[in-house]
Amino acid sequence: MRGVLKRLRGALGVGLTWGAAWGAIFAAIGLIAWIFDPESIDPGEGPTVIIGTGAILGLVSGAVFSGLLVLAERGKELRDLSTARVALWGAVATAVFPLLTPADNSMLFFLCPMGAALAAGSVWAAKRALLRESPETPVLEEGDPGVLHP
């Protein structure tokens, strides 16, 4: 039972983080549209609606991403996750919302790459945090890509 609660808490955390990120992205898109093409914004599509839509999209896709990551990458440690596979799960998780709602499916061409980038960035940030917490500093050998050669 404890493991399930821990996973649910993690999924909620990822969902809330993605919700905030998507809300900010939608706010920026809405601001750009308002500045350059105000006629494209329909009546009733104020900032609150635009940001709220982005936040809900982020919450749902972040929680789905978390679930996909747990199911598909079961047993792998964070440092062993492939960035490309994580990005794939982020794109798939972001596609769920438009495909299962009456939203325009053409949004997928914009949303999926953004979801992939957010997923890769999330795991990258988690890996960096894990490296900072690690008591051991990784030792780089001669020939490793991270070693600068004189």
The whole-angstrom separation of Cα 95 and Cα 71 is 17
Residue 111 pLDDT more than 50?
yes
Burial of residue 108 (number of CB atoms within 10 Å: 0-12, 13-18, 19+):
middle
89-106 pLDDT tens trace: 999 999 988 888 887 888
Lowest mean pLDDT segment, chosen from 36-45, 67-76, 92-101, 131-140: 131-140
pLDDT band at 37 (very low <50, low <70, confident <90, very high): confident
**pLDDT given for residue 103 in this prediction:** 78
Average pLDDT, whole number, for the chain? Answer: 82
Structural domain boundaries in the chain: 20-132
The predicted pLDDT at position 14 comes to 87
Q: Look up tokens 């969902």; give the residue.
A: 15
112-134: b or e for each residue (b if 16 or more CB lie within 10 Å)? Answer: bebbbebbbebbeeeeeeeeeee
What is the phi-psi region of residue 76: left when phi exceeds 0, alpha when psi lies from -120 to 50, beta otherwise?
A: beta
Q: What is the mean pLDDT of residues 106-126?
A: 89
Q: What is the mean pLDDT of residues 122-127?
A: 84
* Residue 115 pLDDT: 93
pLDDT score recorded for residue 39: 82
Q: pLDDT, tens digit, for every residue of 45-67?
A: 778 888 998 999 999 999 999 88
